[in-house]
Chain A
Amino acid sequence: MTHAVSLLLQVADPQLPPSSEMFILFGLIKAGVAFGIYMLCVAYTTLLERRVAGWIQDRIGPNRVGPQGLLQPIADGVKNFMKEEALPGGANKALFVLAPALAFIPAMITWAVIPFASPLPIPGVGLVSMAVADLPVGFLFVLAISSLGVYGITIAGWSSNNKYALLGGLRASAQMISYEIAMGMSTVCVLLLAGNVNLNEIVAQQQGQTWNVVMLTLAFFIFAVAALAETNRVPFDLPESESELVAGYHAEYSSMRYSMFPLAEYANIITSSGLMVTLFFGGWDIPFTHWDNTAPWTAMKTLVTLGAYFAKVFFFVFSFIWIRWTVPRFRYDQLMSLGWKILLPMALVYITAVASLVLALDAAGLGRTSYGFRGAFLGMNVVFVVLVFWVLDRGRIVSPAFSRTERERLARMRLGATRSDLLTGKGA
């Protein structure tokens, strides 16, 4: 006890890392606070989704529970807890109960390594890093954990003993495998520029250089598409696809067990948005100023950068919702060919180009933060964006079904069509 008190009273330089005891204590505090705020954000993202959906569709959305419907998430939670939990006969009970937790937990764990503000100096303690766990392997940890989320969905689909649920689970796993690769590949470019996998270092690199979205627009584009697919959001919500698979993998779930799946989806959205911000939009960096990312650190800087980070994450969460209420779902073959035939080759070509350019610029002796280095990347960017958006995006990125039919079969179909009186108008 006296030991702990003396530790607390011990005068430590607030600009230096804390002692190991303090590190553990503040790690626990950070985990608790971050968990609380994160859950609150997840709950309110459900409300945001419903309100934004309403506005986009010229409706109003839920506005009855509390002022402007702000208590709706609480009402939903109470409702879900009060409802009956149905357990289908023939379901694998253990896995059926376990699956919602398996879907939910990885989304939360990923959040642990994302830095969300500049480090906070606490007098007498030291400089506390504003990530729950500032792991040196940061980004590898994210890749490892984020692909675990699909186990929950696949197991939910399988353990329900329901054809539609199983199909949904299968689709989820196929989709996850296809897009996890493109996602990993797109981030290789970021790692090439940062030279580090620690997320704080990646943020520092963007503060020194420019946000990666300017340097590596195509990588951001691939990452964003893959993130949509990984979170099972429209236009990639094939595991759920209510119009073909009833409700997909969670068809048999009810009450709070069901509610865990949408919550996991929203948790994933927030985590993916956080990752996009960290990897491509400078993390907690405030653009056009170095005031926020240079020592000495103050509590004020922490607050302001936290606000900047929240604003950026909010924008992406909103974009996820916005996209959902704009585009229709892909056909299954479009989903697969987009992942394997478009995004993966695109990412590979881009990695090669970025790696070559970095090598060439380093050999030419241009510093990483010099205007020459940034200008070269910007130039390459323009070329790639024009190539993708104005050359490739002509019925090739997402193409109609017949474009993948063999020529011979297509010819036979055409022949049949011309013979059919019904279609040539002679039969009418």
Chain B
Amino acid sequence: MPIQTRVVDRPTTETSYVRATFQGLALTFKHLVDPHKVTVQYPEEKWDIGPRWRGTHRMLTTEDGKAKCVACGLCPTVCPANCIKLVPGVDEQGNRYPAVFDIDEFRCIFCGYCQEVCPEEAIHLGRHYENAEYDRKDFVYDLKRLTSQTHPVCELWDPADPKGE
């Protein structure tokens, strides 16, 4: 017997097994008839996600359906994961627009810096979490896909209202 064994005298006269078992049965029966309802039946029911949830991106568009992005290049610069690929182009009026705008959602760490830095409020993170795909390639979202997403977008943290009230 190792020396560290502690021998504790239990108050055998005050303990019980049978009566304690019946108490336990009463407790489990209480849970059986009146359970704490914690399970969410997922595909049918969903939890509300927070207003500042940072999910996969969305590119907002102008009224004529073009991306608001002016290809200033701030988001690929600020992106810590280096997941935004931006190739700027210039149209006939001399306006800059993104010729290529790809976001690799696998590399993305969902920090939200791109949304914060964007001067045109074009790129946004989305309040969305169902992102399954059959192919790894499909996780690189191109401009077409980013503009066609419809889920709500993430609200930025406002220092004047830190709790979002």
Listed in ascending order, the chain A residues whose CB lies under 8 Å from chain B are: 52, 55-60, 322-323, 325-327, 388-389, 393-400, 402-403, 409-410, 412-414, 416-417, 419-420, 422-423
Contact = CB atoms under 8 A, between A and B. Distances in A.
B132 interface: no
Contacts of A410: 7
B136 interface: no
Nearest to B17: A398
Contacts of B46: none
B78 to A, nearest CB: 44
A417 B5 contact: yes
A416 B32 contact: no
B93 interface: no
B37 to A, nearest CB: 8
Contacts of B29: 322
B7 A413 contact: yes
A183 to B, nearest CB: 18
B65 interface: no
Nearest to A392: B18
Contacts of A398: 17
Which 3 pairs of residues, A with B, have the shortest CB-CB distance?
A395-B12, A398-B17, A395-B15
A56 B5 contact: no
B39 A56 contact: no
Contacts of A327: 21, 24
B137 interface: no
Contact of A419 (B3, B15, B21, B38): B3
A413 B6 CA distance: 8
Contact of B4 (A323, A402, A422): A422
B14 A393 contact: no
B4 to A, nearest CB: 6
B109 to A, nearest CB: 34
Contacts of B27: 326
Given A60-B39, A395-B13, A395-B16, A420 B4 contact: yes
Interface in B1-58: 1, 3-7, 10-19, 21, 24-25, 27-29, 31-32, 35-39, 41
A56 B24 contact: no
Contact of A56 (B4, B6, B32, B38): B32
Contact of A393 (B4, B11, B19, B37): B19
Nearest to A422: B4
Interface string B116-134: 0000000000000000000
A397 B17 contact: yes
Given A414-B7, A416-B3, A422-B4, A394 B35 contact: no
Nearest to A402: B7
A417 B21 CA distance: 32
A346 to B, nearest CB: 12
Contacts of B5: 413, 416-417
A397 B13 CA distance: 11
Contact of A417 (B7, B17, B18, B31): B7
Contact of A399 (B12, B14, B31, B39): B12
B146 to A, nearest CB: 35
Contacts of B15: 394-395
Given A322-B28, A413-B1, A416-B5, A396 B19 contact: no
Contact of A400 (B10, B24, B37): B10
Contacts of A409: 1
A409 B7 CA distance: 11
Given A399-B12, A417-B6, A326 B25 contact: yes
B14 A56 contact: no
Q: In the complex, which of the residues A395, A400, A412 has the most CB atoms of chain B within 10 Å of its own CB atom?
A: A395
Contacts of B6: 417, 423
A394 B13 CA distance: 5
26 contacts: A55-B31, A55-B32, A56-B28, A58-B31, A58-B37, A58-B39, A60-B39, A322-B28, A322-B32, A323-B21, A323-B25, A326-B21, A326-B24, A389-B19, A393-B16, A395-B14, A395-B16, A400-B12, A402-B7, A402-B10, A409-B1, A416-B5, A417-B7, A420-B3, A420-B4, A422-B4
